[in-house]
Amino acid sequence: MATVTVLGDPVAHLAQTLLERVPELKTTDAGAVARVVKQYLESATGSSDSDAWDGYLGAKRRYAREDLLLQIRDNLQKQAEVTYKVTEQGVAFDPYETVLPTGSAVRPYKDVPNAEIRQSLVGGYNKTLYDGYRFDAQQEKWLADALDNDELVREWLKVPEGKLVIRTPAGRYLPDLIARTDAVIYLIEVKRAREVEERNPAAVEKAKRAVEWCKVVSDARDAEWRYVLLRHDRIKEGDTLDGMLSGAVNLDEFILSQVNAIALRD
């Protein structure tokens, strides 16, 4: 006998999304998940009215979904501990593949208009390993420009997908860039301002784990690794590394928001 879930209200719609996103959940868990969603929306809105829930989800559907996913995974994994260990195995930064329009070539970063950044293979840098990079946003490219032109930076790298993976309870985390100075090696991530302002649960969890990862690596190696989270709207074209670092997210406050949320749930 087939089980049918009718998406006629905000609870059913969100519950169905959670059932699809969490492999451990079965269709027989639909009732329990719906109760969790209902309790969440009542707590978030202070109301038991479905119109209020619709209004809340209209503004914060993504946040609510990610927060609920994190809570469910927390319960399923019983706050499973993730530990990191440094090994002697190296990482080979081999050539990587990307997709570009026919006839495309590496373009010097100084010649690429902002409107064409995402469609271009940007190169001409002096302090990095690869001849060219694809950037997901203009702020990533501005950051790379700053790193290459900053006299304090010895070398930097936009990490090819899958070459540096930090495991977290929220899934795999793939940091954006690495930059080395004489004093510090920075692990840098650019996040949309909305994810930072709303304390996106997955983003908070990944930041927490990245900080832990950097501490383990720093303790095991004769070098300090430091995680840096940058809001996309704080990255300005022509800025310096110090300028960007001064506007970095306060990680203690950012990560503490998760601790407070868990305390409230408990």
Give the pLDDT confidence of 128-167 residue by residue, as tens digits: 999 999 998 999 999 999 999 999 999 999 999 888 999 8
Q: What is the pLDDT of residue 77?
A: 59
Q: Establish if 96 belongs to a structural domain.
A: no
Question: Which residues on neighbouring strands pair with residue 121, listed in sequence order?
Answer: 106
Question: Which residues on neighbouring strands pair with residue 190, listed in sequence order?
Answer: 230
Examine the domain organization and report whether 112 and 229 are in the same domain: yes
Q: Establish if 99 belongs to a structural domain.
A: no
Compute the distance between CA of residue 10 and CA of residue 192 in angstroms, rounded to an integer. 26
Question: Considering its fold, how many domains does the chain have in total?
Answer: 2
Q: What is the pLDDT of residue 84?
A: 86
- Are the CB atoms for 241 and 153 separated by under 8 Å? yes
Examine the domain organization and report whether 166 and 253 are in the same domain: yes
Query: Looking up tokens 């899934």, which residue turns up?
Result: 171
Query: Looking up tokens 């930076």, which residue turns up?
Result: 153
Q: Establish if 89 belongs to a structural domain.
A: no
Q: Establish if 42 belongs to a structural domain.
A: yes
Domain that holds residue 235: 106-265
Examine the domain organization and report whether 146 and 243 are in the same domain: yes
Examine the domain organization and report whether 182 and 70 are in the same domain: no
Examine the domain organization and report whether 16 and 133 are in the same domain: no
Examine the domain organization and report whether 160 and 222 are in the same domain: yes
Question: pLDDT above 70 covers what percent of the chain?
Answer: 89
Q: Establish if 94 belongs to a structural domain.
A: no
Tens digits of pLDDT across the chain (266 residues): 444 433 357 788 888 888 888 777 777 778 888 888 888 888 888 988 888 888 888 888 888 888 888 888 766 654 456 788 888 777 778 887 877 777 788 999 999 999 999 999 999 999 999 999 999 899 999 999 999 999 999 999 999 988 899 988 767 899 999 999 999 999 999 999 999 998 888 888 899 999 999 999 999 988 999 999 999 999 999 999 999 999 999 999 998 765 444 443 44
The residue from 77, 94, 124 where one domain ends is 77
Q: Where residue 200 sits, what CATH number does that domain have?
A: 3.40.1350
Report strand pairing: 171-173 vs 224-231.
unpaired
Examine the domain organization and report whether 21 and 130 are in the same domain: no
The residue from 36, 61, 77 where one domain ends is 77
Q: Establish if 208 belongs to a structural domain.
A: yes
Examine the domain organization and report whether 66 and 110 are in the same domain: no
The three state secondary structure string of the chain is CCCCCCCCCHHHHHHHHHHHHCCCCCHHHHHHHHHHHHHHHHHHHCCCCHHHHHHHHHHHHHHHHHHHHHHHHHHHHCCCCCCCCCCCCCCCCCCCCCCCCCCCCEEEHHHCCHHHCCCCEEECCCCECCCEECCCCHHHHHHHHHHHHCCCEEEEEECCCCCCCEEECCEEECCCEEEEECCEEEEEEEECHHHHHCCCHHHHHHHHHHHHHHHHHHHHCCCEEEEEEEEHHHCCCCCCHHHHHHCCCCHHHHHHHHHHHHHHHC
Mean of all residue pLDDT scores within the chain: 85
Compute the distance between CA of residue 224 and CA of residue 154 in angstroms, rounded to an integer. 15
The alpha carbon of residue 266 and the mean position of all alpha carbons in its chain are separated, in whole angstroms, by: 26
Examine the domain organization and report whether 124 and 213 are in the same domain: yes
Model's pTM, two decimal places?
A: 0.69
Examine the domain organization and report whether 257 and 139 are in the same domain: yes
Q: Establish if 85 belongs to a structural domain.
A: no
Compute the distance between CA of residue 160 and CA of residue 56 in angstroms, rounded to an integer. 37
Examine the domain organization and report whether 34 and 161 are in the same domain: no
Examine the domain organization and report whether 173 and 218 are in the same domain: yes
Q: Establish if 98 belongs to a structural domain.
A: no
